[in-house]
């Protein structure tokens, strides 16, 4: 059974784009691999609409990262001054990675820093479809087992707009075969920005510190709004 938790908190200065710093401190245990995209705007070296949307995509660019890739599968998000942005359409984005430092992935956590198009602070304000995970080249499309959101600051986009770090985590311990590679795909809403992405995997499952406390009321509201938005579209 999937368990989902939402934590809302203020964390001024938690996100430091352009520096070697995690977006959130998940404190995963065991052997770990880390990838980060801390620059996703037009000033990021090597990042163009072409590198984002062709081949395997654009490699993680935070110092100390591994070799994970970010690909725009479809849609209109492109490297704008404030991150990946789209004027005209929703996008499908995907990150993928193959681990090399250990033999079996037991957990994956992804954090996506975004500002919303309505429904501030809720996943329905940033995502047209929530992240799902596949592994070993398969199409399992697993929903996350845990979820949390943390307010990390604001951007000036015709006025201040709050930005949030949305963290999703999967518990993969119930799968018998060794997991050595994975991908995470999600739908990003038009007129929302993606400022940064943090991707972690480990060979031991431990609950991310980004989601320590339950909030069933906020979860219910988020699910209802997302369902309503899908029906309207």
Q: Write the burial class of residue 88 (CB in 10 Å: 0-12 exposed, 13-18 middle, 19+ buried).
A: exposed
Q: Which pLDDT does position 209 carry in this prediction?
A: 75
For the chain, the domains span 32-232
Q: How confident is the model at residue 158, as a pLDDT? A: 77
Are 149 and 166 a contacting pair, CB within 8 Å? yes
pLDDT in the model for residue 210: 65
The predicted structure's pLDDT at residue 21: 56
What is the structure's pLDDT at 139? 93
DSSP 194: E
What is this structure's pTM?
A: 0.83
Question: Which residues of the chain carry a pLDDT beneath 70?
Answer: 1-21, 210-233
In this structure, are residues 83 and 192 in contact, taking their beta carbons and an 8 Å threshold? no
Q: Count the neighbouring beta carbons within 10 Å of the beta carbon of residue 141.
A: 11
Give the 3-state secondary structure of residue 209.
coil
pLDDT of residue 25: 85
Structure-token pair, residue 57: 């995509």
Name the token pair of 91: 């996008």
CA distances from 182 to 86, 109, 131, 133 (A): 26, 11, 13, 7
Nearest residue to 185 via CA among 108, 103, 107: 108
- Element of type H or E holding 52: helix 49-53
pLDDT for res 208:
85
Pick the closest to residue 144 from 211, 196, 189 (CA basis).
211
How far the first Cα of the chain sits from its last, in Å, is 29
H/E segment holding residue 143: strand 142-143
SS3 content of the chain, % helix, strand, coil (to 5): 10, 40, 50
Q: Which two tokens stand for residue 1?
A: 């059974």
Please identify which residue in the block is written with the tokens 């001054």.
81
- Within 8 A by CB and 6+ apart from 50, the residues are none
């Amino acid at each position: 059974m999937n368990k989902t938790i939402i934590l809302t908190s203020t964390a001024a200065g938690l996100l430091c784009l352009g520096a070697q710093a995690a977006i959130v401190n998940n404190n995963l245990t065991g052997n770990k691999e880390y990838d980060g995209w801390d620059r996703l705007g037009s000033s990021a070296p090597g990042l163009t609409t072409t590198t984002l949307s062709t081949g395997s995509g654009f490699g993680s660019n935070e110092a100390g990262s591994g070799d994970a890739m970010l690909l725009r599968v479809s849609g209109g998000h492109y490297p704008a001054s404030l991150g990946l942005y789209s004027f005209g359409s929703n996008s499908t984005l995907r990150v993928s990675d193959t681990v090399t430092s250990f033999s079996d992935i037991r957990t994956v956590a992804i954090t996506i820093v975004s500002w919303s198009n309505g429904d501030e602070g809720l996943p329905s304000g940033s995502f047209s479809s929530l992240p799902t995970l596949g592994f070993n080249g398969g199409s399992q499309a697993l929903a996350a087992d845990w979820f949390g959101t943390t307010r990390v600051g604001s951007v000036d986009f015709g006025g201040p707009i709050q930005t949030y770090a949305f963290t999703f985590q999967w518990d993969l311990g119930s799968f018998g075969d060794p997991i050595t590679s994975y991908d995470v795909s999600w739908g990003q809403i038009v007129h929302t920005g993606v400022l940064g992405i943090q991707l972690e995997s480990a060979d031991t499952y431990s609950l991310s510190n980004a989601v320590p406390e339950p909030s069933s009321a906020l979860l219910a509201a988020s699910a209802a709004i997302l369902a309503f938005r899908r029906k309207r579209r």
